[in-house]
């Protein structure tokens, strides 16, 4: 695997994690939260669909997919896909840093095991 492909894989995974955090910000807005609690389905869809955070997160996903498709065009899926597991680690870290989500012992151990699995599968 070339360094360029590794950069593309990691870029895709990081963009995907950023998309999660951005969408979380988007659905945490008061207008969206209010729509979840008592508005009609149309109002809820409108609130979600017009939330800048949700739209920004979706845009990050699209960009992530562009990088991912480039990777899949050049690597076996069995070689590329284990890197998606790094998304757990990155998303957990971003959640801690940007959303103030707690990092408990079990989360850290579980995520470390996922990262170790990514390493071993990628080396195979």
Which pLDDT tens digit goes with each residue over 64-79?
Answer: 999 999 999 999 888 8
Tokens found for residue 106:
């079990």
pTM for the full model? 0.86
pLDDT more than 90, % of the chain: 54
The residue extents of the domains of the chain are 3-123
pLDDT more than 70, % of the chain: 99
- Can you tell me the mean pLDDT for 31-59? 89
Q: Regarding predicted confidence, which is higher, 103 or 124?
A: 103
CA-wise closest residue to 101 among 19, 25, 16: 25
Angle (deg, nearest 10), helices 86-99 and 3-27: 40
CB 57 within 8 A of CB 94: no
CA distance 94 to 32: 22
């Amino acid at each position: 695997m070339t360094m360029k492909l590794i950069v593309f894989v990691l870029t895709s995974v990081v963009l995907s994690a950023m998309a999660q955090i951005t969408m979380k910000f988007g659905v945490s807005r008061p207008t969206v939260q209010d729509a979840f609690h008592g508005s009609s389905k149309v109002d809820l869809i409108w609130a979600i669909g017009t939330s800048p955070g949700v739209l920004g997160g979706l845009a990050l996903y699209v960009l992530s997919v562009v990088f991912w498709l480039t990777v899949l065009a050049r690597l076996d899926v069995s070689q590329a896909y284990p890197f998606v597991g790094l998304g757990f680690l990155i998303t957990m870290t971003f959640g801690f840093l940007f959303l103030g989500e707690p990092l408990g012992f079990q989360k850290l151990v579980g995520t470390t095991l996922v990262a170790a699995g990514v390493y071993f599968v990628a080396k195979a």
